[in-house]
Amino acid sequence: MTMSILDTCTPRKDLLAGTFNPEIFTANLMQVIGHYRGETGVVENIYTDPLAFFGEGTYPTEGMRLMLRNIFGRLKGTDASFPAIQRSETAFGGGKTHTLIAATHLAYRGTEIADAARELIDADLLLAPGAVTVVGIAGDRVAIHETKGSRLIPYTLWGEIAYQIGGEDIYREIGSTATSFGSPGDEYFDVVLKGRRVLIMLDELAAYAARVEAARPGGRSSVATFLMSLFQYAKDHIGISVVLTLASQKDAFARQTAMLSEIVSKAKGEEVSKTEALDIARRADGEVRSVVARDVTTVTPVRGQEISRVLARRLFGQIDQEGAASTADAYMDMYRRTATLLPEAARQETFRERMVAHYPFHPTLVDYLTGKLSTVETFQGTRGVLRVLALTVSNLWKKHTAVPAIHTCHLDLRDHRLSDELISRTESAELLPIITADIGGADSGDLSAQDSNAALMDKHNPHPEGFSLFEDTWKTVFLHSLAGFGEGLASNVFGINKQDALFATAFPGMTPPQVETALDAIRSNAYYLRYSETEGRYYASTGVSINRVLADIRRGLRGSDRIEELLSQTSRKVVTAGQHHFEVIPEVSVPERIPDKTGKPTLALIALDANSIKPDELITQAGPNRPRIEQNLVLLLIPDTVNVTGDHRAGDDMLDNQESRALELRDRLQSIAVDVLARRILKQDPAAYGLSESALSDQTFSRDTKEREQALITVVTQAYRNLWFPGGGGGGQGGKIIRREISTAGGEGGVSVIERIKEVLLNDGELVTAELAGSTTAGASAAKLFFANQDYRTLADLRADFARRRDWPLLEEPSVFDTLIRAGVNHGAWCLFRMGEADSEKPTEFHSRDTGEIPYQVTLTDPGWSVVTPQGAKKRSWTESDKPDPARIRQWVQDEINATGYCSVAEIAAKVEQDHGSVATPDICKAVDELIKGGHFYVHTVDKNPDMEPDALRGASDWVMETVSPEYKVVTKPEASKRGWVTKKPTGIQIGGDEAKKKVLPLLKQIAQIYKSGGKSTIDYLEVSGLQFPQGGIFNIQLQNLAPEDVRTLDELLDVAIDLTEQQQAEVQLVISAPQPDCKLVERLRS
């Protein structure tokens, strides 16, 4: 069993006796100096008594030791290596004032208190009592001018130093220098400092410079000049030590804007805004800092890891270190068992070391007090922390609270002194009701329920070991809401996330899973505590009054027509009309609401409050006893709030138990709509409900309102998940009205809804888009529909069928029909024609695959256009030739081989016929031969196995006089390489296709000359096909095994061939299996 702090620690006696006064922690340098100077009104306490100060109130940090050693080493006057000027770097409550007080005691009392201060400084560095003159300047309070009659006379920093060192005598001796705006000269330092041992402590130096600058613009320069002279004199004269405090540049004034505005306004004699005060302070600070940076040694009195030791020294008389180690082990064991719930720090072994070092305080408590709470400007650093912890320790021992370590949740808010300390120091009076109602404070017993919400939860769900699980957990959330409360969730320090809350609250006996249960209960049981889903933080909010007003408004709206009006408005946003290819008709409940004969796809959104509908009637009827003409153009989007009746499939998940689900969804929608309406009403006129507009500016209200507005749109959109439409096309439904489910994330505008509808229709083969209409597949499918009963159809009839026939697919928009017709002609699925006179035997206009693309100026909506099957056109003798040109066949063959990778010539022929119509096998074989000779593919006979016989594959270089048969196998180069049939990169040149047209064709007229000037390679194969004479004649050239001498004789032949023909449709293939070095043609081809 883990030991409790009651067993391992002993608090200071005054804490246990109840005589503890928290005000003893208000350290004040000038009060201690005043005590030594015999000023009246100084209250003696632990700070004014050097024996108590060093013995009970001081933990000897390394930084304090170093600073004191430097101070008194310099004052001793025997070693000039000690720095003359030091700056105390102040972070959180960084021991700055404490160190200055320690120096004050040692300067005044010296060797008399050497034993009391032995942990801080060596006795041989101390001087005799009275040997050191002490100067202490509080920069935020020292006078900057004095009144003489009606005039304000400057009271300068150098005048104050002179006065503290030598009183009225020296002050008069330096004369006008004391009140001059200008910095004093060398004679001043000789009069004031020469021959003396002086400790000069300049506290809050930046605040002093800012006050001077406010009172006298440019005064900061005088201060900087004086400091420069003072520092130089101190460096040149041993026996003088200057100590100053200046916040780090990062923290300077950052959390003191209110204080800064007050002191600057007072110095200036008029009200100064925080922004103006900060600007003045930064100018002054910058000039002073530039001087300090040159001459000063910086020391940090208390570092982060020493803070807990400082706190423990002030509060405890004894701490058992073995108990600390044992407790740390118990915590680490718990953290390992629940690691997934906690931050990364909990799983690191170094955290055990932190626990031992901080014991009996849990490190998260120290982090909270010194990190988060210290960001509050009015919270007084170490002093505030000490007061809070002193009261906490006192309460824990008073109530005999046996816990293994002190956590944030052990700050007892039921003690009015502690709650007042936290609330007043953080200026959070508006949060007091949260303590009373949700957590438990000094006034909780005054409630009629007698208990806070957390206390009630603890009563109803008692912890097995008696810990106040809910109160402690909720208290952690509340305390982490004190810092940054004004900014709310916009502040990084406001609130706490789940992992950190578990880490800060849980301890052996009250585990992270138990704390998680208490955190989850906040959402439904706390009045003022909240959880932000978006930020992932728990926090406290005073917004409960808004929630109560909203509850009253909601009650008044129940049964109001405004609810249905809002739901109706929201349903119109599911899909916005005019932004899509569909014509959108909202709030449909009867067939006549859906227009007929529009020629466009129509999406009908069934009204949320429609009691029940029959999808078949809405699609097939245009009104009572009026059949709908364009039935294939109607789609229904039906929400889950509507009962669907009529003929439908048994076991449909949507239709089973739909009535009960519809009622549940209606209730949910009405609940959300009521909340949205209530928020709109409150936002429109908050004064009518006793709230100011500023009360609604809370980010939580605005965010929640937006979330509820969006939730309404989302839930309404998600309710519209049932798409009903005629099932024809590729669905095999034969025109039956079918249902498909769509799912969307929800959102205004309906883009995602339309996209999901299109996706469903496309998956079912029920939608033809513009992109799909241009494909070969769409043409083949459409041809089956078009020519099911006859081999020709008019375009007017086909348009009508697409709109009327439910067993046909839906065209996305009317223009898709034109795209489909034009693409079908290009792919050879049909031919387009228009007859002239009634008795004409041939059409006046005819377009087929062989005639090329239909000109854009052809308007397909003009009357008279029809389509006919290619076979039908052939029967009617409308086609001049049913044989495509060789170049086109070659392209088809190349496409099919590339798509397949490895196949027989017969398989290629079958695929070409399937996609493009019948092509003679010899033409296919010829195309394959040409592609092999062009270096595009490899081939092998069926009796050869390239896996067993590497030489089975044959390519361009050895396929010159050969021809393929249907059973031959053809393989692409990548496929052959992948199968391991080709291991060497070919060294020859094989060029065909577009590359040959670009490289070889332009060289044909020059090739003889190229060889005459240095062509050396044998041309194994050169073919130029498709050269066209002006009257349409075709000229093909095929040359094989041309030696260099042969090539040199070709100039006339090739010149004439090129000059007399057009080359736009020409195809070129060139094979040189053994390119020779320095061959001019090879160089041109490879360049």
What pLDDT was estimated at residue 387? Answer: 83
List, for residues 966-986, the tens digit of each pLDDT value. 999 999 988 988 888 877 666
How big, in percent rounded to 5, are the helix, strand and coil portions of the chain? 50, 15, 35
Helices (H) and strands (E) in the chain, counts: 44, 34
Residue 724, Cβ neighbours under 10 Å: how many?
23
Eight-class DSSP state of 860: T
Euclidean distance between CA atoms 138 and 157, whole angstroms: 10
What pLDDT was estimated at residue 650? Answer: 42
List, for residues 356-407, the tens digit of each pLDDT value. 999 999 999 999 988 888 778 667 666 778 888 989 999 999 999 999 999 9
Instruction: Give the three-class secondary structure for 48.
Output: coil
Instruction: Give the three-class secondary structure for 97.
Output: helix
Euclidean distance between CA atoms 436 and 440, whole angstroms: 5
Cβ atoms of residues 574 and 606 within 8 Å: no
What pLDDT was estimated at residue 301? Answer: 87
Q: List the single range of 166-170, 214-218, 267-271, 753-757 with lowest mean pLDDT.
A: 267-271
Cβ atoms of residues 598 and 633 within 8 Å: yes
User: What's the average model confidence in pLDDT over 63-76?
Assistant: 95
The token pair that represents 849 in the structure block: 């695959």
Cβ neighbours of residue 569 closer than 8 Å, sequence gap 6 or more: none
The token pair that represents 673 in the structure block: 């709509």
- pLDDT of 322 over the 90 cut: yes
What pLDDT was estimated at residue 232? Answer: 95
- pLDDT of 614 over the 90 cut: yes
Q: Which residue has 């041939």 as its token pair?
A: 842
Eight-class DSSP state of 979: T
Confidence of residue 620 (pLDDT cuts 50, 70, 90): very high
- pLDDT of 256 over the 70 cut: no
Q: Which residue has 């933080």 as its token pair?
A: 537
Give which of 280, 292, 282, 354 is closest to 324, Cα–Cα: 354
The token pair that represents 38 in the structure block: 């015999």
What pLDDT was estimated at residue 448? Answer: 44
- pLDDT of 613 over the 90 cut: yes
- pLDDT of 727 over the 90 cut: no
Locate the DSSP E strands across 194-348: 198-203, 240-247, 297-299, 316-319
- pLDDT of 458 over the 90 cut: yes
